[in-house]
Amino acid sequence: MATSREDVRIERDSLGEVEVPASALWGASTQRAIANFPVSGERMPLRLIHALALVKAAAATANRELGVLDEPRARAIEQAAREVAEGLHDAQFVVEVFQTGSGTSTNMNANEVIARLAEQRLGPGAGGVHPNDHVNRSQSSNDVMPTALHVAARLAIRDELLPALARLHACLLRKAAAYDDVVKIGRTHLMDATPLRFSQEIGGWARQIELGMARTRAASEALVELALGGTAVGTGLNRPAGFPERAIAHLARATGLVFREAGDRFEAQAARDAAVEASGALRTLAVSLFKIASDVRLLASGPRCGLGELRLPALQPGSSIMPGKVNPVICESVTQVAAQVVGHDAAIAVAGLSGQLELNAFLPLIARNLLESIRLLANVSNLFVERCLEGLEVDRERAGALVERSLALVTALVPAIGYDAAARIAKRCSETGKTVREVCLEQRVLPREELERLLDPRAQTEPDAAR
């Protein structure tokens, strides 16, 4: 560091001098990245920054215990890194998402900010704290950034996504139980099919979310292995023996999550397969949410000229030209998020298959998309519960009327009268507009008592029960 003016200070690195804003905590490397990547204006996710800081704190502790970093500097780095992890310096992380593929610019942003904060703690005459020699000791971007990605994603899944999905699952189970007494018409190919209960339809949605939670937990487990300790290419050059074990143990304690060393550091740095796997699970969850929200939207269509079996909360006027129109806006938000997550997954897949030799140089894109998918799915799941499903109601009268009018009721007569005779009854109903019950009574197809038993909609939803 050299002389400074009122608004800037001069920082030096291996390429020469760089002007840095006087108030900034970052240094030359970060400033060069700001100039080099004016692409989207989107910064790296704060979830990743906070996880990276946790890694830096754990690394400093391990370095101190192994005697490769002196006590005062190590303690100062640990404390500074924890401040960053707590979000106290978020404004200092300014590097663009679409940057160098290893994430080196973000790693150096963290190294420089933590170094300056640690220097401030040590005070003058303490010898200073160097971003590379001290904060980045025993690390490289190539192992520390994949590590931070796994830590960030597992924390986000645990703290945001799984609680949101549990809430959604519980809400669907409550709604299923509340409407177990309501029989409705089933639909396949969007055409009338045999009856079922609302509890069965909604229960199917609940099961999708239950399975989605299991897949999400499995996705998190795929991220348990960490690349930390592999340094540049996986050989562990320039880090002391025992460093990864110690650092990962400290990281596990700090997060409350299980982490372990990668089974093969060369795989852990050359490939991002675990992130691709996790993204695939999120894509499947997005597909489930799209299905559920689309079903709710269809069943609530109308309200008078559509299916109209569900009533949704009226949240806002739905049209700038049609008074009284209210749209299923939350369902539409859910489906848009699902589409975006599928897009994120496609980009992650391309990034995953684009790794070359000892490094996958798409880490920033993977981190951005994976963490954004987790965030969006968590937020929209909470929204779906709060603004739609909690206030969802079944129109019992409408559901019952549609069941009675359906031609599909004739299916229950097939074992008694045969398929062809049942088909003739359905055709007659279609020609006259009469119900299956009315035509059967007119034609005296079966004794009234047997007919009523077979055409009982509730009984048709319980094929395994004694009939």
Q: Which residues of 155-167 are buried (b: 16+ CB within 10 A; e: fewer)?
A: bbbbebbbebbeb
Q: Are 36 and 56 in contact (CB under 8 A)?
A: no
Tell me the C-alpha to C-alpha distance, in Å, between residue 136 and each of 24, 221, 246: 20, 27, 16
Q: Is 319 a catalytic residue?
A: yes
Q: Give one DSSP letter per residue of 6-55, joined into a string.
A: SSEEEEEETTEEEEEETT-S--HHHHHHHHH--SSSPBPPHHHHHHHHHH
Q: Are 391 and 315 in contact (CB under 8 A)?
A: no
Q: Is 344 a catalytic residue?
A: no
Q: Is the peptide bond before 303 cis (omega within 30 degrees of 0)?
A: yes
Residue type, 268: A
Rounded Cα distance between 117 and 389, Å, is 47
Q: State the pairing for strand pair 191-197/16-21.
A: unpaired
- Count the residues in the chain: 467
Rounded Cα distance between 166 and 170, Å, is 6
Q: Given 189, 288, 294, 333, which residue is catalytic?
A: 189
Q: Given 40, 319, 354, 430, which residue is catalytic?
A: 319
Which positions are catalytic?
A: 189, 319
